[in-house]
């Protein structure tokens, strides 16, 4: 139950750019990703990355990446929505120092043959890590270009052998109010929960993220495991995941519960469907250049530029009513 909703409560987002010509090409590319070249020296050697962040080994570039220049590490880690640490954009960086992402375990349950509680290494280590430079699009109409490091979520989910009854995948964030001070206040109904259709979860663009800029994921960005669904608004990309559930029924989602008239289950980037309190037709890129927090506005792309790849997932679905 939502107890309090300040007027500034919104949600974060992330999103990529147009890449391959169709879903078949994406699937072929996904199979080839593990044989790609090593993470670019320009990203891996970013001198603005604090030494405290551990470098991730064996990261390979993915063909899904945009060619746009990424935002700086300090921008990506300093301007965030993560209400578990506070509602201000700088709260997550300032208040997440006590959060401990290691050791980490994830419960897998529901409509699957393989269930149980699994540690971080058993989830991540069997897979090749990929660097994917995606556009990050927030429902509040700001965006970034982010070099995420992760694993195709579908590759992870297949290992748990979901049954024919699994039509959705639900996710849950950890609850640790002593380490996540925002959870001491009833801003949202904790824990944060999200969900995808099985088709969305298995799509090759959907990423289980473990790092950024070639290093381990910072606390304020959702350490140690977060979701990245690049054609959706950022609040769908749940952070600090401790539970994955395969369900037959559509699962509840935090922002839809908090404000159903403002935040829908699907949350696809759609410039033709405005948020009740602002337009989604354009976006502002976060930038520390020229003495301004934001660059000039630019048009919002349908599905954040991935319409060719993902629009078929929603064939016959009214994307105005199912926002």
Helix (H, G, I), strand (E, B) or coil at 123: helix
Query: Does 320 fall in a domain?
Result: no
Bond into 93 cis (ω within 30) = no
Q: What is the total count of domains within the chain? A: 1
What's the pLDDT tens digit per position in 33-89? 333 444 555 454 555 799 999 999 999 999 999 999 999 999 999 999 999 999 999
Average pLDDT, stretch 168-187?
98
Query: Does 10 fall in a domain?
Result: no
Q: Which domain holds residue 142?
A: 23-314
Q: Which residues contact 92 (CB under 8 A, 6 or more apart)?
A: 80, 81, 82, 85, 86, 219, 220, 221
Q: Which helix H or strand E contains 73, and what residues bound it?
A: helix 73-78
CA-to-CA separations, 248 to 170, 198, 293, in angstroms, rounded: 10, 10, 43
Query: Does 181 fall in a domain?
Result: yes
221: nearest Cα among 208, 239, 234: 239
Query: Does 279 fall in a domain?
Result: yes
266: nearest Cα among 191, 194, 188: 194
pLDDT band at 293 (very low <50, low <70, confident <90, very high): confident
Identify the residue whose tokens are 């301004």.
292
Per-residue model confidence (pLDDT) at position 296:
85
Query: Does 322 fall in a domain?
Result: no
Which region among 15-29, 146-160, 196-210 has the lowest average model confidence (pLDDT)?
15-29
Query: Does 56 fall in a domain?
Result: yes
Query: Does 90 fall in a domain?
Result: yes
Averaged pLDDT score across all residues of the chain: 88
CA distance 155 to 157: 6
Per-residue model confidence (pLDDT) at position 43:
58
Query: Does 319 fall in a domain?
Result: no
Q: 49-61 burial by CB neighbour count: b if 16+ within 10 A, else e?
A: beeebeebeebbb
Helix (H, G, I), strand (E, B) or coil at 127: coil
Per-residue model confidence (pLDDT) at position 48:
77
For the cut 60, the answer to whether the pLDDT of residue 31 exceeds it is no
Per-residue model confidence (pLDDT) at position 289:
67
pLDDT band at 295 (very low <50, low <70, confident <90, very high): confident
pLDDT band at 14 (very low <50, low <70, confident <90, very high): very low
Q: How many CA atoms lie within 13 A of 7 on its CB side?
A: 2
What's the pLDDT tens digit per position in 311-321? 999 999 999 99
Which CATH number fits the domain that encloses residue 299? 3.90.420.10
CA distance 198 to 204: 12
């Amino acid at each position: 139950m939502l107890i309090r909703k300040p007027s500034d409560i919104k949600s974060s987002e992330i999103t990529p750019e147009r890449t391959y010509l169709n879903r078949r090409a994406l699937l072929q590319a996904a199979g080839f990703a593990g044989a790609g070249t090593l993470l670019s020296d320009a990203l891996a050697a970013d001198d603005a990355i604090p030494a405290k962040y551990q470098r991730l080994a064996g990261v390979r570039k993915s063909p899904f990446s945009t060619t746009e220049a990424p935002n700086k590490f300090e921008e990506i880690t300093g301007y965030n929505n993560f209400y578990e640490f506070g509602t201000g954009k700088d709260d997550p960086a300032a208040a997440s120092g006590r959060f401990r992402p290691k050791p980490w375990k994830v419960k897998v349950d529901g409509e699957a043959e393989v269930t149980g509680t699994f540690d971080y290494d058993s989830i991540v280590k069997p897979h090749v890590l990929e660097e994917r430079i995606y556009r990050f699009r927030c429902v509040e109409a700001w965006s970034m270009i982010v070099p995420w490091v992760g694993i195709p979520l579908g590759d992870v989910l297949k290992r748990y052998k979901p049954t024919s009854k699994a039509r959705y995948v639900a996710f849950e964030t950890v609850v640790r109010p002593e380490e996540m001070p925002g959870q001491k206040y009833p801003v949202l109904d904790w824990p944060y929960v999200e969900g995808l259709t099985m088709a969305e979860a298995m799509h090759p663009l959907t990423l289980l993220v473990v790092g950024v800029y070639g290093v381990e994921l910072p606390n304020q960005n959702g350490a140690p495991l977060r979701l990245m669904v690049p054609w959706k608004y950022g609040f769908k990309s749940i952070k600090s995941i401790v539970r994955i559930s395969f369900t037959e029924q559509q699962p509840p989602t935090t922002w839809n519960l908090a404000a159903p008239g403002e935040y829908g289950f699907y949350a696809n980037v759609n410039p033709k469907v405005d948020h009740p309190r602002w337009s989604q037709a354009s976006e502002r890129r976060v930038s520390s250049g020229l003495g301004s927090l934001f660059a000039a506005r630019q048009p919002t792309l349908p599905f954040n530029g991935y319409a060719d790849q993902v629009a078929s997932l929603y064939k016959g679905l009214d994307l105005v009513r199912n926002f």
